[in-house]
Amino acid sequence: MECYFVSDVHLESGNDGDTFRTETFVNFLRSLQGKADVLYLLGDIFDFWLEYEDEIPSGYETVLSEIKELTDNGCIVKFFRGNHDYWTLDYFERELGMEVFSEPYLIEKINGLEICVGHGDVVGCKALKDRITFFLFRNRFLINVLRRMPRRRISAFAQKWSSRSRKSSSEYLFDPESSELRRFCEKLGRTTRVDHFIFGHFHRRISIPIEGGAFLHILGDWSDGGNYLNLSGTNISGLGFPNTVI
């Protein structure tokens, strides 16, 4: 099976690179036609997605059309909600044929390998501030309140929040030696067989061996071009990643 993993495209982020990022991602999706068996979208594909029963966010039409083309031709597309695009209803499943997941992580068996995948913002996180943020963003009552507020005001707030988040360098710090995410992966690996952990969120392109013989891969963002991993057979490689892991 040919499986591809992508995270943190942040489409329609409101900055000067939007057109380049969208075109690059659309070309990537088109390149998967007839080649990819499964596409994992590991969160924050959209910079802000708040879906209503009668309306979906605008500006993503070309990308959504390409995803629909993939699923129509037999590619399985699995979407993991990120902290920027958590607020979906049923459009992705109903209209695009995607599978949608809100779990912090899942373990999938692919080509005989055990792969742990997710967005990465919740997994292993212990900081109280971050835990409160995650709770607020995922609380169903608060989300329903949000949907009842003026839509223009919500969009303006979301763009300001996203911009501030991207400018905060501390938001995406990842120290391979002291990372809570790495400690989580190593702890899970002591009780559960996992060959590869694949996450996004940190906007850093990292591929390192960890305790227990597994590998931890963190996908980069798409601010300067495409970043993806390809699992083909027992080989993992990717655009922008330094090594092929066997």
Phi, psi angle pair for 183, to nearest 5°: -65, -40
87 strand-pairing partners:
50
The per-residue pLDDT of the chain, averaged, comes to: 85
Strand, helix or coil for residue 96: helix
Give the tens place of pLDDT for each residue, 105-157. 999 999 999 999 999 988 866 666 666 666 666 777 776 777 676 667 666 66
Q: Among residues 41, 183, 193, which one has the least CA distance to residue 113? A: 193
Distance, CA of 45 to CA of 150 (rounded, Å): 24
Angle between helices 140-147 and 128-138 (to 10 degrees): 60
What pLDDT does 243 receive? 46
pLDDT of residue 133: 65
Which residues of the chain are modeled with pLDDT < 50? 169-170, 243-246
Residue 119 has a pLDDT of 94
The three-class DSSP label of residue 26 is: helix
Map out the domains of the chain with their CATH numbers. Answer: 2-237 (3.60.21.10)
pTM of the model: 0.86
Q: Of 119, 131, 126, 125, which is closest to residue 218 (Cα–Cα)?
A: 119
Please give the helix or strand (H or E) that residue 34 lies within, else none. Answer: none
Instruction: Give the pLDDT confidence score for residue 171 in this predicted structure.
Output: 55
Q: Return the pLDDT at 50.
A: 83
- CA–CA separation, 105 vs 119, rounded Å? 7
Number of separate helices (H) and strands (E) present in the chain: 7, 11
The pLDDT score that the predictor gives to residue 244 is 45
